[in-house]
Chains A and B, each alone.
Chain A
Amino acid sequence: MENLLTSASELVTLERLLSIGSALLKVVIGIILAKLVSRGLGRFFTSQGTTHQAVLVQRIAFYLIAGIFIASALVSLGFDISVLLGAAGILTVAIGFASQTSASNVISGLFLLGERPFAVGDTVRIGTTTGIILSVDLLSVKLRTFDNLFVRVPNESIIKSEITNLTRFPIRRFDILMGVAYKEDLDVVRSVLMETADRNPLCLEEPRPLFIYQGFGDSGLNFQFSVWAKSERFLEMRNTIQIEIKRAFDEANIEIPFPHRALYTSSVTEPFPIRIVTDGPRAEAA
């Protein structure tokens, strides 16, 4: 009983009381100051128009200032703060693991800035998304698709995957894969196609349109006809040239075949008998 009282009285010496008092005072002042500063900062950032950032800044400021004061209060009470620092070190490692993707995005962003595979205003295709680059930011790249949708692509995925810049070079080639019926003369087809490309003012004369024969297909002769145009007029050229080719083929009586299948009953029996009806359903009714 007496030992307890002695130890209790040893604890509650005047110095001790003073130091506890000063620590408490520090904590209280710290919290008040933190609240004031954070509120002030919050108001400042809200007036700038960004409430999201304002709340964030407010919280960070509060915890930072309050934390500093509490730490100094603890130091004055005699606690060893190196334990806290050790804990902070572990916390940093944990944060490091958690922010892996963000850090990788930032670093990818820096590499992209240096490498410059595209610039603001270029049309790019990333995966299945095609759009115009609006901005190249620290963590991501912002695109506007042709149907006016906003797409955010993280820098990390750009560095890792293949992107196609559609407007890097000034001219672009359009490949038309088509086929004509087996009965057609390929020289005639080729000259009709070349003449159509010639007449279209958007098709460049040089580099020359290409006619590449692909092979003997199931239903017809397959070939590729490639024409070049300036990148800006590419879409217009693509539409007009295909319509013009169809028209030219119609005028020259060149057939673009439907898929063909030959039917046999068997190799031994006769072919199917067919009766041609010249009048329509009226004959049936009569």
Chain B
Amino acid sequence: MGPSTLWIHRSARSWRIIHSSTRDDLDDSAEVHAPVPVDRTQMTREDPSEEADSLRFSFQKIKDREIVLTPALADRAVVIRPDSPLYVLAGEDITLFASTPVWIRIEAGSPSRLLTEIPSHRPSDTWFGPNAQEGDLCYAVKTAGRLRLERLPFRLHRAVTPVLIRNHASDALLLERIQIPVPYLSLYQGKDNYLWTQSVTLERGSDGDVAAVRLDHAPPAEAGATERLSGPRLHLRTNVILRTFTSIFSR
């Protein structure tokens, strides 16, 4: 799935999950082989050149042999950049489309229990804040936010988020980095099996400083017919002012 490859092996009392990644974010493969012939797993595990992580989960009570893989969104906020720094003029709105890598949730048993979550691509850490003393640790995504949906490279292991930016102030807003509060978003499956999240609206108020962050309740129209896959990790309380916007304006 994308740059990650997972081997899942079940024995009588444990599940073993082996994960390796090519670290290339643009890798777009998506294949499932089940069941894999035994000799192939042996060979892969002994291959020393593969940097693979192995996890083992043991149990007594799980009787069924099914394992469930679901996509989930990132566990931290994600910082995106537009493909080049752009100004949003006073009173104008723009929409940027951003894509973030998904995490793979592996669950087994009924009621299903979470074994582990593995990122399909582990993004780089980054710091988002007004200075080196305050801020949050986020993920930085390499693919730029695009103004036009057609320009965004669609990948099966990434979720697309439309970000609507409204500038109500009297001067132009320079957009260099935008923090998307991904843990507050839900994941939807749209047409062609691509993954979407709901829209995020960032409004810069007329006083020029603090603005509001709003999340839609429904998936965007561009996604087509959708099915909701998972809810948000964190719930946004209405009065919480996220750091999203104070760092849009400051360098």
Contacts and interface: CB of A to CB of B under 8 A. Distances in A.
Interface string B110-138: 00000000000011111110001111010
Given A170-B137, A205-B140, A228 B127 contact: yes
Contacts of B124: 198, 200-201, 203-205
A169 B126 contact: no
B9 interface: no
B140 A170 contact: no
Contacts of A229: 125
Nearest to A232: B137
Given A170-B135, A170-B137, A230-B137, A204 B127 contact: yes
A204 B126 contact: yes
Interface in A203-233: 203-207, 228-230, 233
Nearest to B128: A206
Interface residues of A, number: 17
A247 interface: no
A202 interface: yes
Contacts of B23: 199
A74 interface: no
A229 B123 CA distance: 14
A208 to B, nearest CB: 10
A201 B137 CA distance: 12
A204 B125 contact: yes
Given A170-B137, A199-B23, A207 B122 contact: no
A104 to B, nearest CB: 32
B211 interface: no
Contacts of B159: none
A230 B137 CA distance: 8
A201 B123 contact: yes
A171 interface: yes
Contacts of B132: 169, 171, 207, 228
Interface in A154-188: 169-171
15 contacts: A170-B127, A170-B133, A170-B134, A170-B137, A171-B127, A201-B123, A201-B124, A203-B124, A203-B125, A204-B126, A206-B126, A206-B127, A206-B128, A228-B132, A233-B125
